[in-house]
Structure 1
Amino acid sequence: MIDFSLIEEFVYLIEQTQNLKSLTDLFGSIIRQFGFDKHTCLSSVDLNHPPANSILIYEFPEIWVNRYKEKEYFKHDLVLKSIYREAKPLKWLDLEEMDDINQKIFYEAQQFGIRNGMTIPLMMPGHYPCTINIAGEFVDVDPRAYSSLHLLAVHYFNQLLLLGQSDFAPPALTPRQKECLYWAAQGKSDSDIAEILAIRARTVNYHIEKVREKFDVRTRSQSIALAISCGLLLP
């Protein structure tokens, strides 16, 4: 059951905040009421080479954050790979089979009090796709808590944007770049797109690579996610 009075109080309090520390402290205090004591709010970018205006809030132990980035676990993290497939909150306890690298990630995280949690994907036009990760040691969390945490995270994220922590100006894409990216988002290969648009496959790749460079991301999938988030591409 969602405690709307708690959410209403949280919204009122965060609207009074004037700085990032006060806001993150408030969110930290509210999630502790649900059995969690750590969180991050991260743009979906290369964490070792983040573009300007990324949101990078780490309320996890610093040693773990440094290890996670140093070993580039974000490139393998099953949570991050799974979260945008369905675009809905993911409870970590619902994760099924994990490969060796993800078993290692979760095992190492437990050494820092990160045993259970949930990840909430958030997308807002004009901003990088983002995840809020709420974590703690306790596994026996009331299942009803997750719905409340989802709503709280959405309000937290909105207030972050209002405080001006991220203001991403989407790049201008040419009509051909949009066409190529649209068909790529539909799962078409470069060869398929080339046939549809009556151009060469390497020309398709050229246009999509230009989009990737404009967004300053590493992969085609990230380009597509950003273009949708910015309203440059319809899902």
Structure 2
Amino acid sequence: MPHINELELCIELINSAKTPEEAFSYFCSILAQSGYDRITYSLVTDHPSLDLPKQHGLVTSYPDDWMQYYNEHNYMNVDPVVQKVLTTKTPFFWSDLVDNPDLPAESWLMMNQAAESGLNSGIAFSLQGEPGEIVGLGVARNDSYKDTRDYDFLAKVYLLGTYFHETYRDMLMKEKNNIPLVTDREKEVLYWGAEGKTDPEMAIILGISVNTVRFHWKSIFSKLSARGRSYAVTKSIRLGIIVPELVRSPYHSR
């Protein structure tokens, strides 16, 4: 498992996920190495593009008993992290909120109850989807770690969290619209198919065997319910799986 200091490897790992759940699992595993073993991805506004209402912990590794307690008490309405996410795009430390003398009593109580449930310290930030759609990503620790304001780590979590968000949301959109999940290699085969390359030519370009190219075509046909290459390429463009202007760049230059 790559460390967050190896951002490129972390991104490659998340990109290799086949499902939204797998992408979240990889994201959690990467951050757990730095002690941040509690993650939640919340819709802090309604998301019409996904047909989902606002909700705390659309996907989460927070303790189940805390999530139940949180929702039963409608804490999303007094959660200072949620309120901060709604008003700023800048990542922040939870302690910035707890140390605020003007924090309402009910919000202070909620944060202390969260700490008692194992969410001792954390960071959070907002992520944008469609216009008006905001996601909040919270990253917390279960231990008694003292917040040291590690801004380098904060920046790396923000970058990786943004990539995870884009990947996760894209997967949800594809599931919602019944768009097949095509692998990167299958996309390459589709791009070169759009260029009119033959299987032997693709094998040389991609550094794989002709049989492997044909295996990828068979998988593509199955996923797209397509009987031929031309239809598979056309359908993949229509569904947004490959983008026409990218057929010649960067693939054309290889």
Q: TM-score range by the shorter chain?
A: 0.5 to 0.7
2:169 is matched with which residue?
Answer: 161
| TM-score relative to the length of structure 2 | 0.58
1:186 is matched with which residue?
Answer: none
8 Å Cα contact 2:63/2:117 also seen in 1 = yes
1:37 matched to 2:45: no
Which aligned pairs between 1:11-50 and structure 2 lie closer than 5 A? Answer: 11-45=11-45
| TM-score relative to the length of structure 1 | 0.62
1:88 matched to 2:90: yes
More displaced stretch, 103-112 vs 148-157: 103-112
Which residue of 95, 103, 107 corresponds with 2:108?
103
**Cα pair distance change 1:166/1:40, threshold 3 Å:** farther
Identity %: 20
SS at match of 1:117: strand
2:152 is matched with which residue?
Answer: 144
How far 1:9 moved relative to its partner? Answer: 0.5
Which aligned pairs between 1:50-199 and structure 2 lie closer than 5 A? Answer: 52-54=51-53, 56-95=58-97, 96-97=100-101, 98-125=103-130, 128-136=133-141, 137=143, 138-141=145-148, 142-164=150-172
8 Å Cα contact 2:38/2:62 also seen in 1 = yes
CA distance in 2 between partners of 1:134 and 1:126 (Å) = 24
How far 1:45 moved relative to its partner? Answer: 3.6
CA distance in 1 between partners of 2:167 and 2:176 (Å) = 16
CA distance in 1 between partners of 2:51 and 2:95 (Å) = 33
How far 1:79 moved relative to its partner? Answer: 1.6
8 Å Cα contact 1:64/1:112 also seen in 2 = yes
Which structure has the greater CA radius of gyration? Answer: 2
SS at match of 2:119: coil
Q: RMSD value over aligned CA atoms?
A: 2.6
8 Å Cα contact 1:93/1:116 also seen in 2 = yes
**Cα pair distance change 1:104/1:168, threshold 3 Å:** farther
CA distance in 2 between partners of 1:74 and 1:166 (Å) = 28
**Cα pair distance change 1:60/1:11, threshold 3 Å:** same
- Unpaired segments ≥5 residues, structure 1: 170-235
CA distance in 1 between partners of 2:168 and 2:72 (Å) = 26
Give per-residue Cα distances to partners, 1:111-143, cap 9 Å, x unaligned. Answer: 221011111100022672101110113224544
Give per-residue Cα distances to partners, 1:82-105, cap 9 Å, x unaligned. Answer: 223232112112121222111211
- Unpaired segments ≥5 residues, structure 2: 178-254
8 Å Cα contact 1:43/1:129 also seen in 2 = yes
Matched residue type, 1:118: I
More displaced stretch, 65-74 vs 23-32: 23-32
Runs of 4+ with deviation above 3 angstroms: 140-143, 165-169
More displaced stretch, 148-157 vs 16-25: 16-25
Give per-residue Cα distances to partners, 1:180-216, cap 9 Å, x unaligned. Answer: xxxxxxxxxxxxxxxxxxxxxxxxxxxxxxxxxxxxx
Matched residue type, 2:167: Q
How far 1:18 moved relative to its partner? Answer: 0.6
2:9 is matched with which residue?
Answer: 9
CA distance in 2 between partners of 1:8 and 1:168 (Å) = 29
